[in-house]
Structure 1
């Protein structure tokens, strides 16, 4: 079934309200917010939503608020026709594709800031990025009013920020974290992968290869500092890799683990996250380890 394409906020609200009236027994709405240029990772979120809700709404919006002055807003990949085809194949019911003018009809005087969780990792590297993310996701939640919203754990910090925002502001939506989807060789799927040259693509495999070794290194008794040094050394074996950060944090609070304590003694989940540039392309990846996996 071809999904309904909606470009106006008012029309989207009308369609969702009509669905809730038509389906008194299946009123739950699932929501998958994206910036488009969809891939199998997005498709997995859509399919999960379809399996758990009576209506699935997918949004495609490249949000200018989350891009810094020297970032890739203008060159961020876009392909609406391809995106709609993937949305249809994955079972989405409505695809919301607003313009910047529709989402921001006048200059924004309000923003949503989630403090502390955004001080590290990508928040430190990209000042203001998560303000833009939290603001647009808050707007979309108020427009769609979903019961559940689906996010990939490839950006685990984003999931933590959005989950905290919904709790702090009592937004009535369940945040559903979903596993990172990878290529057969391990590279995490990303819309930005299209930017990589063949050699950059080859060397970028060091990210997933490094993270795959993390459980063993933790089991060996490494501390936070020792693990970060080991990962950095592994990544630097590839000459095109330019490390932005390699960090270890508790999850979902994103605090620093005790410096001298072996990570295998952690009583809370651990996030090992990294951001690395290959040429002009900045890639992120992570591994999330739960207590049973680090002891």
Structure 2
């Protein structure tokens, strides 16, 4: 059995027709939902969730297409739109009795969180993003040799067939590559957790690619429509990221402020997987956010 978050209960929660997601829930108090990134599952939040559960209801799902959640086929290019995945998050919170909640996401989960904040501003009270730019900005700044760090974005943006074949034929090497090169502290992801990430990703190649493909198509359309309409994140927002903005030649804080007027932007001295490498910093930032 894969590792679990100690002290949390697990449930399957229906979120859409034919789609249910795996959810860990623990603690009591004001609710916060935590969304994982790639190539991980809800387990990436194990340290942060256990700490926050002392005084919050902490809801930690596997995103649709990941972990032990359902992986519906994508027949129309909309199934893994961040809009659909954000609706899942709202449905999960409502299933536990919460119409309003704080929301934090890492990597892919942060993109879902951003979309939830834009689409459901009356539900999301506070929003935190860990180590990612909004989708539209990501594509706009990825250029030249620096874009090599995002080779997987371009690979998984291709039409169905080749990406799934290439990744599926070397799944452990592909997903393991990111766990290795994006981590400064290799001990932050112990062997049993790493094995769980790889096993879950191995079983989810098609849906993971569909998630990324959506971010090169329908997600851009949704972000563009919001930018043109002047829609912004109305809630307090905290952004945590590595010190990669200057290295890639853009002002990440300025890009974020265009989306989030009430913004706190902080740099964390660790690798990409900051909830595992620097959980105390993440917990402090989330607690500070929820006092704003």
Q: What band does the TM-score fall into relative to the shorter chain? A: 0.3 to 0.5
Structure of higher RCO (CA pairs closer than 8 Å, 6+ residues apart)? 2
Rg comparison, structure with higher value: 1
TM score, norm. by length of structure 1: 0.34
TM score, norm. by length of structure 2: 0.34
